[in-house]
Amino acid sequence: MAKDNENEYTDIYSNSNYNEKKSQEPEESDAGVTAEEKAPSGRQPVNSAGADKPEKTEAGKDVHMMGVEGELDFTKKRRRRHHSGEGHGKKHRKHRKKMSTKKKILVIILVIVGILLILAAVAVGIIFHYIHMLDIVPEYYEDEVVSNIEKDEDYDPELSNSSEEDIKSIEDKIRKNLEDKSIDIMKDKDILNILLIGTDGRSVNERGRSDSMILMSVNKKSGKITMTSFLRDSYVNVPGIGNTRLNHAYAYGGPSLLMDTIEQNFKIEIDKYIRVNFYSFVSVIDTIGGVDINVTDDEIKYFNRYLYGINQREGRDPEKGKLEKGGKYKLDGCQALAYSRIRYVGTDFQRTERQRTVLEQVFQHLQGLNLVQLNDMLNKLLPEIKTNLQEGEIFSLVLQAPSILKYERKQCRVPCDGSWTDIVVDGMMVLGIDFQMNQSYLKKNIYNG
């Protein structure tokens, strides 16, 4: 800009010098020109020879000087435009265009964020739609405790009790374990223990008995899920009731009393449970297309016996699904339930192993369900589930489900090998437990695994 101004001034000075030179040149002589021929003052003179002289305007200025003044005036206007910012018009237009592009990008981002928020809101709404199907009880809800329960189906009043010495030895172990305050309750902020309770009740309101008790321990730090079966015949102390079978705790006081019983006898923290009756698993297994199971020849007789009763309860032909011999089969829901309930082959140890085998198959199939199948299964299963997990906790688990389902899974059993003895108490076959050995087993496999 400074250079432009310099050029302008140079042009002006050049014109001025030119005018000075012109004024210094000798004027033509007035000799021979009469007074009358001289132009009066204020008029344009004309020489006698008719030669052109600089033209005069009405103001008496020659045309050349007007050109110089015009250029000076043009320069002043340029200066005014420069100081008024007119010279930056192009920059302003570029700046406005740049701002306009930024605004467009911002609008696009806001639209995308808005769409994502709407989709997230829809997803949250769908999840809570399913959560509201559950029978959710308050976190510290205490079930009613009853004073009497029905005898077990395998109760045999003619079965002779074990010796008083053996019974006393087992009961002394129970008492000492409860009195030992040196052992802390096992717990870890990175491990979530949820007790899965399978009952033979046909509806969510029927308590029934806890035929299956599996502690699902989700270790978020190690990325492992440990499924620990607690055998129903374990001889333990039920708070407020006395020494009896572990599954009686549920029959007396529901999930809350069962969790307290396991926690006090095995020194492991359990605050959450999911209770489902076995009959709801029928629809789940049918939805996933069945489970592949090896049924042995020894199991066939008992398998068909349980299946007959289940078919009757489900309103099916009692003979439907009957098997003739052992082998590998794809079992439907009723058949899988019959298989899970067999207890007269290999006692309770093999029974819990059969239950874990079925559950493992269910876990594997869940990962491959499409949205239609998943919706169908949830609509049938969720109304049959009772839990003290709260809505926020369930929502969090649902969000984590894709990764949790990929966790490494392992199976355990309590009592562990070499930690139990068979005894008979009050007509019941029960398992006398070495509690310290099983507590160490749980610590190793759940908390140090």
**Structure confidence by residue, pLDDT tens digits, 234-265:** 999 999 999 999 999 999 999 999 999 999 99
161-447 belongs to which homologous superfamily?
A: LCP protein (3.40.630.190)
In angstroms, the CA 185 to CA 180 distance is 11
In angstroms, the CA 285 to CA 366 distance is 10
- 393: pLDDT confidence band, cut at 50, 70 and 90? very high
pLDDT for 200-239, tens place per residue?
765 556 677 788 899 999 999 999 999 999 999 999 999 9
The domain spans of the chain are 95-132, 161-447
Among 187-191, 277-281, 370-374, where is mean pLDDT lowest? Answer: 277-281
What does the chain come to in residues?
449
Among 33-37, 217-221, 423-427, where is mean pLDDT lowest? Answer: 33-37
On the question of pLDDT at 24 being above 90, the answer is: no
In angstroms, the CA 371 to CA 375 distance is 6
| pLDDT, mean over the chain | 80
In angstroms, the CA 198 to CA 362 distance is 15
Write down the pLDDT at residue 62.
Answer: 52
- Scored b (16 or more CB within 10 A) or e, 294-316 reads ebeeebbebbbebbeebbeeeee
Write down the pLDDT at residue 46.
Answer: 44
In angstroms, the CA 372 to CA 361 distance is 20
Q: What is the value of pTM for the model shown?
A: 0.69
CA distances from 383 to 218, 387, 402, 407 (A): 24, 11, 22, 27
